[in-house]
Structure 1
């Protein structure tokens, strides 16, 4: 079959593509940036498409020729495109798919997308489900619990990060929120079976693993797997967690967000027996998966670095803000000294001081808003190297200053490079 996978570049989408191609299907995967997915999985065709902008049936009609099945694995937990991605785009897609004669549509939703959960994520996911139900298509809706894999993303990365903290593991409230986690490969196998068989038409399934675990138990198992030794749980009051969630919302890319907290509180437990009977196989337990794949040094690196990403982002932004403020308030004498040493006209001193301070302030903002950390990394490297070379040439004695005003730029450059390497979590 020829299968279109929406969100093929995502954490779940990539594994679905690999499972389908590995079992002889032709796969076309959508990605916002084709270059990020090109060549990632042999045999996959990549269609560059911004799903949030494909909200008219005409946007989809030419793309569905020859497509037998659509797997909609696209979704976001926060962001301004949620309505477009969960509702407007699927509405257009399903209209075009019905006209094109697509045989089947599979929607990946979430077990916590329920009417009693008052988040925009849950509401838009449910609206998207209802659109598919009312369409004339052969449909199946999947509502998985926590999905984990050999790697991690989003909520599972947060779990690993919490498990990797030294000595103490913070947990929201009592840490008794329940999950029935399912491994990515078992979810991918589920999707493939539904693509290939007709028995699942018009059904809503909740893909879950064989055991329900509290957040505390999940963290203990991950920490033991990482080989990091015992740690003590620290209860974080829910009001503080909600405040941290709002801060994450404001930053746009923090480790905690209001929606993720609300979805966790809502409950993510499912009926393991019912799902195994419905799908015809029993997914593996977390213990079985972790035993079959012992943790590597890269897993420990990722767990330990998870919370360092926002910390480094904040430190770099603070560095540039402080540099801008100091330049505007106390930098006149140093700027005059620099201009004099370079032999430039003194009339340039004030514009240079104000201009460099404004540049530093712009870099602080850039560091905070650049989610991939790529462009901001390049910009910071250019500015720090430029400052170092210019000042070092004009005032070479600063290289030997015991306080190291120029030598300190070397570890700063390394910190910027580290941030550029680990800042992109997609």
Structure 2
């Protein structure tokens, strides 16, 4: 399977890339850091500045599925990365017929005391959920060391949390996209 991995050189994205590659999937990484991905298929792109769906069109050519692991933190353009750029990507997926999309979000974004991070992550989830795509939102955070993610899965296209929380090896989430 050919997978576009947005945020593919980051903490979560690089772990997903490692797992998918060992399983024989072809990954095209998208990030601002080409030097972090030697010997890979890489598209240098700033998600926050790619808010026009037409800019994603060529990047999606031949792609079977998308994993969006891009994220921004304090002092970075959270609105651009989590909402505007990601929404453009999802619109482009609809146009290109790329139906499978997994979004890595964050646990705790549904709490009553929202931060800019939580607000933009929620808005990014809503942008994906509004699309006519086969999507899954995984709310994860790094815990228990670099090889583990804790997660909460939001079911595909329903927006209802399943309650399946717990920890998983970093590669466990990556197997779902290839099924």
TM-score greater than 0.5 by the shorter chain: yes
1:77: Cα distance to partner? 2.3
**Alignment partner, residue 30 of structure 2:** 30
Alpha-carbon distance in structure 1 between the residues aligned to 2:173 and 2:166: 14
**Alignment partner, residue 94 of structure 1:** 90
Write the deviation string for residues 51-102 of structure 1: whole angstroms up to 9, x where unpaired: 1111101110111011111000001221241100000001110111111010
1:190: Cα distance to partner? 1.9
Alpha-carbon distance in structure 2 between the residues aligned to 1:114 and 1:150: 25
Alpha-carbon distance in structure 2 between the residues aligned to 1:38 and 1:49: 16
SS in structure 2 opposite 1:47?
Answer: strand
**Alignment partner, residue 326 of structure 1:** none
1:31: Cα distance to partner? 1.9
SS in structure 2 opposite 1:76?
Answer: coil
Alpha-carbon distance in structure 2 between the residues aligned to 1:188 and 1:122: 25
1:145: Cα distance to partner? 3.8
1:117 alignment partner, one of 113, 116, 125: 113
**Alignment partner, residue 146 of structure 2:** 149
Alpha-carbon distance in structure 1 between the residues aligned to 2:142 and 2:31: 23
8 Å Cα contact 2:100/2:135 also seen in 1? yes
Report 1:157-306 matches (<5 A).
Answer: 182=167, 186-192=169-175, 194-197=176-179
Moved over 3 A (4+): 145-148, 180-183
**Alignment partner, residue 2 of structure 1:** 2
Give the number of the structure whose residues are more often strand, by fraction. 2
**Alignment partner, residue 50 of structure 1:** 46
How many residues in Structure 1 have an aligned counterpart in Structure 2? Answer: 162
Structure 1: any 5+ residue segments left out of the alignment? Answer: 152-179, 198-426
TM-score by length of 2: 0.84
8 Å Cα contact 2:7/2:13 also seen in 1? yes
SS in structure 2 opposite 1:144?
Answer: strand
Give the number of the structure whose residues are more often helix, by fraction. 1
Q: Compared with structure 1, are the counterparts of its residues 130 and 150 closer, same or farther at alpha carbon in structure 2 (3 Å cutoff)?
A: closer
**Alignment partner, residue 58 of structure 2:** 62
